Amino acid sequence: MEITGQNMIDRDTAVVAKKPLVLVNFKDYEVAVGMGAIDMLNMHEEVFSELSDLADIVVVVHPTDLRGVCKASEKVSVFSQSADYLTRGSDDLPKATQTGRLTPRILCAMGVKGALVNHAENPRTDEEIKMIVEDFKSYDPNFTLVVCAENVERALGILNVCKPDYIALEPPELIGGDVSVTTKVDVVKEAVEKVGATLLVGAGVKTGEDLKKALELGCAGVLLASGVVKPKDKTPKQALIDLIK
């Protein structure tokens, strides 16, 4: 599928990180929910205080922990792991009240700065993604939306219907594994060429070499989870430091 210039993210107006963007997804790992989410946030804040000139760090938090983590956060931006569009009535206008949904008003009121949408573990249709992006950007243009795509074709399909701030390329077969998406050089190069400078990559990302390779290929940063939250041979703090340094 070809994509025209007007369908691509506008590089002049999109939020593009000047420093590498590092999004750490807490998922629902036991060590990163409840009080564990606060502990994990505090660790990220310590690292950011030391290495803020090297990367912008964002924690992506389970919705049940958002209020507490946002309240505790002083330096690190907090994103939600999900977001919802507003349900509509028969007149196609948003209903006056919404039940059980992570709406723009609810997330912004807590201090959430952005959201991850369409992760492989929480998939959405292109139409749902479009509605989420439109509803959040209408409410707060500065709210950052990171939309995941499993391949370049899906990324282009999403960009044909809406303009999120970032597209995160995450091949599902690599998620949680030890093979980094950055080893798929041709795939990442094609994605950068067609999506542009607001591309993030994720899946299998764990090391500083993975981040360095992503940046060399033209990406804005990385999205990862277990590589920092549940590293195999080091503490989460050391894993985050090694990733960024």
What is the Cα–Cα distance from 70 to 79, expressed in whole angstroms? Answer: 9
User: Would 220 be classed as within a structural domain?
Assistant: yes
- DSSP-assigned states of every residue in 135-178: HHHHH-TT-EEEEEESSHHHHHHHHTT---SEEEE--GGGTTSS
| Collapsed DSSP state (helix, strand, coil) of residue 8 | coil
Average pLDDT over every residue of 240-244:
97
Lowest mean per-residue pLDDT among 6-10, 52-56, 162-166, 212-216: 6-10
Q: Does residue 170 carry a catalytic annotation?
A: yes
Q: Is the pLDDT of residue 182 over 60?
A: yes
Instruction: Give the predicted TM-score (pTM) of the model.
Output: 0.90
User: Would 240 be classed as within a structural domain?
Assistant: yes
What does the angle CA 82 – CA 146 – CA 83 come to, to the nearest 5 degrees?
Answer: 20
Q: Does residue 128 carry a catalytic annotation?
A: no
Residue 41 is encoded by which pair of tokens?
């946030």
Which entry of 45, 170, 190, 216 is annotated as an active-site residue?
A: 170
Q: Is the pLDDT of residue 156 over 90?
A: yes
Q: What pLDDT score does 91 carry?
A: 93
Q: What pLDDT score does 178 carry?
A: 82
Average pLDDT over every residue of 177-199:
91
Band of pLDDT at residue 118, cut at 50, 70 and 90: very high
Range of the domain at 135: 17-88+98-244
User: Would 173 be classed as within a structural domain?
Assistant: yes
User: Would 172 be classed as within a structural domain?
Assistant: yes
User: Would 9 be classed as within a structural domain?
Assistant: no
Q: What pLDDT score does 174 carry?
A: 86
Q: What is the CATH number of the domain that holds 199?
A: 3.20.20.70
Q: Is the pLDDT of residue 6 over 80?
A: no
For the stretch 58-69, pLDDT in tens is 999 999 999 999
147 near 124, Cβ under 8 Å? no
State how far Cα 55 lies from the chain centre: 15
Q: Is the pLDDT of residue 1 over 60?
A: no
What is the Cα–Cα distance from 142 to 244, expressed in whole angstroms? Answer: 26
Q: Is the pLDDT of residue 3 over 70?
A: no
CB atoms within 10 A of CB 54: 17
Residues in the chain: 245
What is the Cα–Cα distance from 113 to 27, expressed in whole angstroms? Answer: 17
Q: Is the pLDDT of residue 226 over 60?
A: yes
For the chain, give the mean pLDDT. 91
What is the Cα–Cα distance from 181 to 159, expressed in whole angstroms? Answer: 21
User: For residues 18 and 9, which has the higher predicted lDDT (pLDDT)?
Assistant: 18
State how far Cα 199 lies from the chain centre: 11
Number of domains within the chain: 1
User: Would 143 be classed as within a structural domain?
Assistant: yes
Which entry of 44, 119, 190, 193 is annotated as an active-site residue?
A: 119
User: Would 6 be classed as within a structural domain?
Assistant: no
User: Would 216 be classed as within a structural domain?
Assistant: yes
